[in-house]
Amino acid sequence: MKYSVGILLSAASSVVAQSAPVIGKGQTGPLKVGYFEEPGLPKHTVYMPIDPPAGTKLPILIWGNGACSGNGTLFGKTLLESASYGIFSIAMGTPKGGSSTSGMNSDKSPLQEQALEWIEKNAGVGKYANLDKTRVAAAGQSCGGLETIRVWEHPLVKLIGVFNSGELNVSKLTLKITKPVFYFLGGESDIAYKNGERDYKQLPATTPRWKGNLPVGHMATWSQVNSGKFGKAMRLWLDWQLRGNEESSDFFLKGGAKADGWTVEMAAMESLPKVTPIQSCKVGTAC
C-alpha cells in the first residue's frame, strides 16, 4: 500500500511539471483545452486546444491583461473558453507572474512585440504546424487595450479588439488605425466608457468599426463562469473574424448582441475584409 501511494504521488508531481498544460474545465466548446508555458515565450502564457483532431487549424489571438498585468492567467477564463472553439492565444505574463508588463503611460508594448516575433517564426512550423499566422487578432482589456493599439500597424495583426478601454487623454493612435476595430465597453459606469466612446468616433471614417456597450461597468463579467457575456462576445468575435464562421456574425450584425443586452453601433462595416471560413469545431472532427 505504502509503495503504491508513493508511486501515485510521484506520477502526480511529474504531471504538474512546469511545461505540462493545466487543463481547463467547464468550457462550452467541443475541444479540450489547457494553458502552459512555452519555452520560446518566457514572459507569456499560451492557451490552446490540447490534442485537437489532426488537421485542425488554429487562428491566433494576442491578449493584453487589465492593469497591464504580468499575470498570464488573469483572463484565463475567457481565453480557455475561446480555445475550446479553436483559438490559440498568447497572453502577456507567465502563469505565476504578477507585476506589470509595460504600464499605462508607456508608449511601447514589448511583450506584444515578442509574441508577434514568436508567431512569425513558429506558426506553421514543427509542433506549431497547425497555427495560422495569416489569422492574427490583437486585443486586451483596459490597460491591455492600450498595449494592443500600440501594435496595430504590425503586419501580422489583422484586427483589433478593445475591451473596457480607450486612450487616456485624447485620441492619438486611434486617429491613424485603418484595420478593423471592435470595442466592447461596460456602459456609462465603466471608467473607460467616455474615452472608448470618443475613440470610436475618432477613428478614420473608412475604418470598419463595431461597438457594443453592456451596462456592467469596468470589471464587466470577466470573473463569471467562462467570463459570462463578455466571454461569449469575445469567442463569437474570434469565431467570426478569425475562423470565418458566418453564423457567429449574427451576434454582431443581426441582433444577437442586442438580445444579450448590448447597445450596438457600427460603421464602415462594408469594408470589413472577408474571412475564408475554416470548418467549425465539433467533437472528433478536424476543424
Ligand X SMILES: *[C@@H]1O[C@H](CO)[C@@H](O)[C@H](O)[C@H]1NC(C)=O
- The footprint of ligand X (CB under 6 A) covers 71, 73-74, 96, 98, 168-169
The values of phi and psi at residue 260, to 5°, are -85, 0
The C-alpha atoms of residue 236 and residue 230 are separated, in whole angstroms, by 10
Whichever of 5 and 16 has its CB closer to ligand X, that residue is 16
Q: Least distance from C-beta 79 to ligand X, angstroms?
A: 11
Mention every residue, 6+ apart, whose C-beta is less than 8 A from residue 54. Answer: 286
Neighbours of 274 (CB within 10 A): 7
Whichever of 78 and 130 has its CB closer to ligand X, that residue is 78
Q: Least distance from C-beta 78 to ligand X, angstroms?
A: 11
Mention every residue, 6+ apart, whose C-beta is less than 8 A from residue 215. Answer: 186, 187, 188, 189, 261
Per-residue buried b or exposed e for 128-147, using 16+ beta carbons within 10 Å of the residue's own CB: bebbbbebbbbbbbbbbbbb
> Comparing C-alpha atoms, which of 81, 88, 56, 93 is closest to residue 236?
81
Q: What is the Cα Rg of the chain in Å?
A: 19
H or E segment at 79? helix 76-83
Whichever of 26 and 98 has its CB closer to ligand X, that residue is 98
Whichever of 56 and 202 has its CB closer to ligand X, that residue is 202
Q: Least distance from C-beta 169 to ligand X, angstroms?
A: 4
Q: Least distance from C-beta 67 to ligand X, angstroms?
A: 11
Whichever of 19 and 99 has its CB closer to ligand X, that residue is 99
Q: Least distance from C-beta 87 to ligand X, angstroms?
A: 19
Whichever of 67 and 268 has its CB closer to ligand X, that residue is 67
Q: Which three cell numbers stand for residue 243?
A: 475562423
Q: Least distance from C-beta 9 to ligand X, angstroms?
A: 25
* Sequence-ordered strand ranges (E) for 142-272: 159-163, 181-185, 209-213, 263-267
DSSP bridge partners of 139? 63, 161
Q: Least distance from C-beta 218 to ligand X, angstroms?
A: 16
Strand, helix or coil at 25?
A: coil
Strand, helix or coil at 138?
A: strand
Whichever of 67 and 286 has its CB closer to ligand X, that residue is 67
